[in-house]
């Protein structure tokens, strides 16, 4: 599946994330931000666009209702941050830490999560369209009552992830690993799985397979 990458010009000027306090509309755009630390802050309805962010930390920060478009996050830490009600489009999270992040009630379009830690993240009641999860750890991540359209899980750890009330019809999880999942039979219908995973699901259903 082809994901639309973030759109941004080359040779972006450098800024610090705290420069957002000097903006009238809590907006940062058209710049590169490196090694900024913005922990334990509360800043709602922020707008980020056409940015490159590297090595930044946003631990425990409340970014509720944030709007993110055309942004590349590389090696950034959003552990326990609150981004509920977010709108995130043409954005890449690469080598990022999103442990326990709250992304409930959010909208994702053309977003890639690459080699990132998303254990215990909450995505409940969110909509995903053209979203790629590649080589991430998604252990105990919550996808309760989400809507998936063109979503891929490639070589991810999805152990104990919660997919209750989320249809996996047409979703390919065959290259990902798990010991158990929280999901109903109805929502599993049409999901693409490997032969080994099919055996795992049979075991979870209480079936006894004999040769």
Q: How far apart are CA 63 and CA 41, in angstroms?
A: 8
- β-partners of residue 37 are 57
pLDDT at position 151: 97
Q: How far apart are CA 188 and CA 162, in angstroms?
A: 12
pTM: predicted TM-score of the whole model, two decimal places: 0.93
pLDDT at position 209: 62
Q: What angle do CA 54, 79, 87 make, to 5 degrees?
A: 75
pLDDT beneath 70: ranges in the chain: 203-211
| Residues contacting 127, CB < 8 A, separation 6+ | 106, 107, 108, 146, 147, 149
DSSP track, 57-68: B-TT-B-TT-EE
Relative to beta strand 107-114, strand 14-15 is: unpaired
For residue 164, the 8-state DSSP code is T
Mean of per-residue pLDDT scores for the chain: 94
Residue 65's CB is within 10 A of a number of other CB atoms, namely 17
What's the token pair of residue 131?
Answer: 């979203």
pLDDT at position 205: 64
**For residue 155, which phi and psi values (nearest 5 degrees)?**
50, 50
Q: How far apart are CA 163 and CA 92, in angstroms?
A: 23
pLDDT at position 196: 86
Relative to beta strand 27-34, strand 107-114 is: unpaired
Q: How far apart are CA 146 and CA 162, in angstroms?
A: 10
Tens digits of per-residue pLDDT, 70-109? 999 999 999 999 999 999 999 999 999 999 999 999 999 9
């Amino acid at each position: 599946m082809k994901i639309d990458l973030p759109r941004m010009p080359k040779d972006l000027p450098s800024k610090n994330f705290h420069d957002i306090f000097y903006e009238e509309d809590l907006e940062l755009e058209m710049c590169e931000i490196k090694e900024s630390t913005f922990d334990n802050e509360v800043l709602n309805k922020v707008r980020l666009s056409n940015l490159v962010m590297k090595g930044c930390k946003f631990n425990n920060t409340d970014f509720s209702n944030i709007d993110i478009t055309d942004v590349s996050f590389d090696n950034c830490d959003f552990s326990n941050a609150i981004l509920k009600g977010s709108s995130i489009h043409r954005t890449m999270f690469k080598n990022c830490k999103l442990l326990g992040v709250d992304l409930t009630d959010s909208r994702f379009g053309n977003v890639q999560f690459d080699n990132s830690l998303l254990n215990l993240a909450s995505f409940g009641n969110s909509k995903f369209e053209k979203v790629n999860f590649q080589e991430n750890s998604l252990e105990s991540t919550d996808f309760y009552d989400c809507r998936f359209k063109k979503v891929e899980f490639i070589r991810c750890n999805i152990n104990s992830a919660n997919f209750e009330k989320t249809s996996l019809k047409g979703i390919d999880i065959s290259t990902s690993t798990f010991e158990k999942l929280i999901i109903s039979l109805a929502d599993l219908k049409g999901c693409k799985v490997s032969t080994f995973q099919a055996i795992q699901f049979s075991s979870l259903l209480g079936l006894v397979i004999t040769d």
